[in-house]
Amino acid sequence: MKLSIFLLLAMNVAFASKSVEWTPKYKKSQTKKMDLELLTDRKVAKSTRTKSSAKKKISIIPATPLEALYLKKAKKKEHLNKLKHASLKLKQKAVPTLLKVIKSNNYPEENRWVAIHMLGRIMGKKSAPYISKFSKHSNWMLKLASLKVLLHLNQKQYKGIYARLLEDKSLIVRHQALQNIKEMKLTSLAPYVWKMLYNKSNYVGLKGKRKRSSIIKDAIKTVGDLGFKKARKPMLEMFRKKKYVDVYSELDYSLSKLEGKASPAGGMSVKKHYWNRIGIKEITI
């Protein structure tokens, strides 16, 4: 799992390198923070691994030195950097090998992750239609890589993919889909983000004792960032109920965004009083 964390960070660095004429259209610091929060959850990552990753690998005779590198399982972090630099050095000539690695589960999944990112790095937006297909892959890691590359390439046209993956069985994938929508400011997908509050997969614990996971908090804030006015009334009602005390801060953030005006300075009791007063004013008798 540590290797996956390093891999994720290494790919973000790879996209930010000055050696290729391409610039990401999102704030790297925000997505880097999200990466650390998500991929350190070992239980989630372990539960979302698929049976396909456990299939017996067949023997492959590498056709190129680059393929030989991709066949080798990474036991140290340095190997991942070697894959990245070797791919970038070959540029377009690396593409056939990258495609071969991406399509076959006979290569280590961490290396396939690198291959997807390198394909996006080398080919740029031309790779988006192909990479988007991996959003339907059974392996959570490849779906995640697909989403990340599409975000790096600022591919706003794949709204259907982002909306669908908000309900993926993997929490990590759902979180990244939410991040894509937020970073690319896809306001038309705001209703799908709000719908996440009603998805049982985003809660932990047994029935009757379920608690909201961190993704619910992010969804509430994203609704505000996207300017989803229809969520304003239900959020005001949520602020009146003690059972939502764990998300008061997020509700305050989102409502402030929708109002175009921040709540009064002070503790949460002050803010709650402020929003309750606004909610009461709008009650029709």
Tens-place pLDDT, residues 67-76: 999 999 988 8
Task: With a cut of 60, say whether residue 15 has pLDDT above it.
Answer: no
Question: Is the separation of the CB atoms in 55 and 105 below 8 Å?
Answer: yes
Confidence of residue 204 (pLDDT cuts 50, 70, 90): confident
Higher pLDDT, 79 or 164: 164
Give the dihedral sign, CA 209/214/219/222: positive
**Integer Cα distance of 8 and 202 in angstroms:** 23
Q: What is the mean pLDDT of residues 234-255?
A: 95
Give the number of other CB atoms < 10 A from CB of residue 265.
Answer: 7
For residues 4 and 38, the answer to whether their CB atoms sit within 8 Å is: no
Helix (H, G, I), strand (E, B) or coil at 180: helix
Enter the DSSP assignment of 210.
Answer: -
Alpha carbon distance 67, 15 (integer Å): 21
pLDDT higher than threshold 80 for residue 270 = yes
Determine the straight-line distance between the first and last CA of the chain, rounded to whole angstroms. Answer: 57
pLDDT confidence of 36, banded at 50, 70, 90?
Answer: very low
Q: How far apart are CA 209 and CA 168, in angstroms?
A: 23
pLDDT band at 264 (very low <50, low <70, confident <90, very high): very high
Mean pLDDT of the chain: 84
DSSP SS3 for 59: coil
Tell me what the mean pLDDT of segment 209-223 comes to. 92
pLDDT score of 198: 93
pTM of the model: 0.79
Q: Does the pLDDT at position 180 exceed 80?
A: yes
Three-point CA angle 261, 265, 270, nearest 5° = 100
Residue recorded with tokens 């896809």: 186
| Residue that the structure tokens 């291959």 belong to | 115
Q: pLDDT tens digit string along 120-160?
A: 999 999 999 999 999 999 999 999 999 999 999 999 999 99
Amino acid 226 reads: L
Extents of the domains making up the chain: 1-48+62-184, 187-285
How many C-beta atoms lie closer than 10 Å to residue 258's C-beta? 20
Pick the CATH number of 1-48+62-184 from 1.10.3470, 1.25.10, 1.20.1660, 1.10.260: 1.25.10
Lowest mean pLDDT of 76-85, 87-96, 119-128, 214-223, name the range: 76-85
Report residue 43's pLDDT band, with 50, 70 and 90 as the boundaries.
very low
- Name the residue among 199, 180, 181, 194 with its Cα closest to residue 258: 194
Whether residue 58 has pLDDT greater than 90: no
204, β-bridge pairs:
211
**Whole-angstrom distance, CA of residue 69 vs CA of residue 84:** 10
The Cα–Cα gap between 122 and 85 comes to 12
Taking the C-alpha atoms of residue 270 and residue 258, their distance in angstroms, rounded to an integer, is: 19
Instruction: Check residue 75 and give its pLDDT.
Output: 83
Are 200 and 208 a contacting pair, CB within 8 Å? no
Do 224 and 253 contact (CB within 8 A), yes or no? yes
Q: Which amino acid is located at 225 in the chain?
A: D
Token pair recorded at residue 261: 């005006």
What does the pLDDT read at residue 45? 44
The pLDDT > 70 percentage for the chain reads: 77
